[in-house]
Structure 1
Amino acid sequence: MKSNKYTLDRFEDGFAIFMDYPSETEKLLVPFSEIHTLLKEGDIVSITVMEDSYQIDLLENETMNQRDKIQSLLEQLKNSEK
């Protein structure tokens, strides 16, 4: 079984909507009932699609690194506006 990386984009109509990471060009809809870990929008995860279920693992280090990059970019934008 192959696992792929995704970013949790949003929750909508009983589904978690994941975008493939890092390109975010393809999406994967996973029913809430298949998610057995606490996730937030923006989390980066590894998802293995099995015959009748999903294995979802939070990639904490990658998520934190991505959040740090975004925060840094926001700070640069704020400073450039002054």
Structure 2
Amino acid sequence: MNYDKYTLDRFDGDYAIFLKRPEEMEQLLIHRDEISIEVKEGDIVNIQDDGFAYTIKLLPEETADQKQRVNNLLEQLRSKHE
């Protein structure tokens, strides 16, 4: 089975809303009870759906890299407005 990469966008009630990478246009809603690992908004994960359950694997290095890219962009924007 293949894994697809997603970013955890947010929690909405009892559901986690993941956006499929890289375009992040397609949403996947998973009930909190079906998530067996601790995830937080902004985390990048691999998700496999075998038709019965989801297998979710956290990708900490990719999450850290993405956060660094976002911080760098924010810093560039701030320096342009000084």
Give SS of 1:75's match. helix
- What is the TM-score with the length of structure 1 in the denominator? 0.96
Q: Report Cα offsets for 1:3-31 as digits up to 9, x if no partner.
A: 10000000002100000011001000001
Which residue pairs with 2:52 in the alignment? 52
Q: Which runs of 4+ in 1 moved over 4 A?
A: none
Paired amino acid for 1:54:
Y
- SS across alignment from 1:55: strand
Structure 1 unaligned blocks of 5 or more: none
1:53 deviates by 0.6
Question: Over the residues paired in the alignment, what is the CA RMSD in angstroms?
Answer: 0.7
Using structure 2 for the length normalisation, give the TM-score: 0.96
Number of residue equivalences: 82
1:72 maps to: 72
Secondary structure of the structure 1 residue equivalent to 2:79: helix
User: Percent identity among equivalent residues?
Assistant: 45
5+ residue gaps, structure 2, are: none
CA distance in 1 between counterparts of 2:27 and 2:51 reads 18
The answer to whether 1:42 aligns with 2:35 is no
Shift of 1:43: 0.5
